Structure 1
């Protein structure tokens, strides 16, 4: 049976970050969507101070409705844990599973800075720049191979502050009942990026840095295929 995987990239990245995972899921007979959110990658020209979490939620909801996607395994990497949480609130009947891939996991009323307080430091640093609404990439997210580093650098762009300060509203019991899986990248956790204990759903561990779709795509795809 074919499953639709909708893979949502995290902060600073683009849909290109899933390029190594797509053929592995597609080769198993599944549909795979890897949109680039507003302000990143080939949509970088749309970046501006008004781009926020709500913008990215609209991006994904619009795609789901335009493509009439149902039974979606909705995967959010890193910051996109905020995005998929809010998307599920909007279209819960179209989502079969939520997958938080080394991701932020908010509760009602929280912003990214609430979920991961270290991001406040990034915002404070940006405040002293000429464009205080944008945060440049600050690391290579566990990618060390020189060829991979060069590739990742081609897709990285700035993150709008508003993405991290807009809160989510999570009040729909139907959305709250959607099955969820958490994939935690372990072994290379950066200092200060503490992960909250999981209170809902199953937890799988993946030995990898944060950008596991870049460094261990086969292992990641194998986990995702368990949900298909």
Structure 2
């Protein structure tokens, strides 16, 4: 049995995986969605250097999981990629779901596609928090009005300290066994940093013809890809 530890991207807590978890469990896997500090029911927990990485490692150790597939979506690819390096032989595979990937010394803010100043400006204007997107910002991502409402109801303004936290990597990320899921409605090609990693023999690419939040738009298909990733590990 594989144990999936599921970490959603910015603003989201463990409830983002509510439609994926039952499918994984029905396939015989363990499925452990995680809420990071500063979000959801943990919104009052302080966030500083490496907090989200520690959250992930601590959850694996608390549950004493041994055959682990770490799943990081969007922003959470950065702490998940770092945590994966620290799990040793507990780790089976990492799956990045349309995710950012960590680069040593870089952060989510420093690699923001519109430039670090743009995202930092948003954080500064909102008391150090990244505001939850307005409904119209989800256009073109294959989400229904009901799914957008569910997203926004469960979302928390994201702590900027996590977004600005520089990654710490002890070895090249390409050495990890990994699957990268590219959601094509959010852009047809992986980012340059991801494309470089995909040249590694240990990384594989798969695609989904959906938007950036497949746990909402296509949960069954996403669960099937995760199941396949576990089987190939």
Q: How would you bin the TM-score normalised by the shorter chain?
A: 0.7 to 0.9
**Which residue of 2 is the match for residue 26 of structure 1?**
25
- The CA distance in 2 between the partners of 1:119 and 1:137, in whole Å, is 19
Whole-angstrom distance in 2 between the partners of 1:165 and 1:150: 28
How much does 1:119 deviate?
6.3
TM-score by length of 1: 0.88
- Supply the RMSD in Å over aligned alpha carbons: 2.2
Which residues of 2 match residues 36-185 of structure 1 at below 5 A? Answer: 36-46=35-45, 51-52=47-48, 54-118=50-114, 120=116, 121-129=118-126, 131=127, 133-138=128-133, 139-140=137-138, 142=141, 144-172=143-171, 177-185=175-183
Unmatched 5+ residue regions in structure 2?
none
Name the one with the larger helix percent.
Answer: 2
My pick for the range that moved more, 198-207 or 210-219, is 198-207
Instruction: Name the TM-score, length of structure 2 as normaliser.
Output: 0.86
Measure how far apart 1:118 and its partner are.
2.6
Ranges of 4+ aligned residues in structure 1 off by more than 4 Å: none
Shift of 1:11: 0.7
Shift in Å, 1:194: 7.4
Query: How many residues are paired up?
Result: 219
Deviations, residues 152-194 of structure 1 (Å, cap 9, x unaligned): 1111111111112111111236x7532011000002439xx97
Give the superposition deviation at 1:109.
1.7
Distance 1:161 1:195 in 2: 22
Unpaired runs of 5+ residues, structure 1, are: none
